[in-house]
Amino acid sequence: MRYIFKFPDIGEGLTEGRIVEWRVKPGEEVKAGDPLVTMETDKVVTDIPSPKQGVVVQLYGEPGEVIHVGQALVEFDLVGAADVSAAVATGVNPSAKQATSSASANAGVVGTLEVAGDDAIMHAGDEAGLHLATLDKHVRVLATPLVKAIAKDKGINLADVTGTGPGGRIMKEDLTVYAQMRNKVDREEVPVSKHLDSDNKVQVVQLSQMRKAIARNMLRSKDKAAHLTIYDEVEVAELDRIRKQYKDLYAKEDVKLTFLPFIIKAVCLALKAHPALNAEIDLEQGNMTYKQYYNIGIAMDTPKGLVVPVIKHADIMSIKEIAAAIQRYTMLAEAEKLTLSDMSDGTFTITNYGSVGGKFGTPIINYPQSAILGIGKIAKQPVVKDDALMVGLVLPLSLSVDHCVVDGAESTRFLNQVMLYLNDPIRLMME
Q: Which residues are catalytic?
A: 403
The 10 Å Cβ neighbour count of residue 334 is: 12
C-alpha dist (Å) from residue 170 to 16, 93, 174, 224: 16, 37, 6, 13
299 - beta bridge partners?
351
Sign of CA dihedral 338, 341, 344, 346: negative
With beta carbons less than 8 A apart as the criterion, state whether 356 and 301 touch: yes
The DSSP element (H or E) to which 390 belongs, if any, is strand 388-402
- Which amino acid is it at 185? V
- Which residue, 11, 237, 248, is CA-closest to 125? 11
Pairing mode, strands 112-114 and 227-235 = unpaired
Under a CB-based contact definition with an 8 Å cutoff, are residues 311 and 364 in contact?
no
Helix or strand holding residue 320 (H, E): helix 319-334
H helix count then E strand count, the chain: 10, 20
Distance, in Å, from the CA atom of 107 to the CA atom of 125, rounded to the nearest integer, reads 7
d(CA 90, CA 181): 54
Strands 296-302 and 348-352 come out as: parallel
The amino acid sitting at 104 is S
- Taking the C-alpha atoms of residue 429 and residue 372, their distance in angstroms, rounded to an integer, is 23
Measured in residues, the chain has a length of: 431
C-alpha 232 chain-centroid distance: 29
Q: Which of 42, 59, 41 is nearest to 50 (CA)?
A: 59
Residue (of 326, 32, 3, 6) closest to 135 by Cα position: 6
What does the alpha-carbon distance between residue 338 and residue 82 come to, in Å, rounded to a whole number? 40
- Per the CB < 8 A criterion, the answer to whether 165 and 142 are in contact is yes
The CA distance from 122 to 103, in Å, is 8
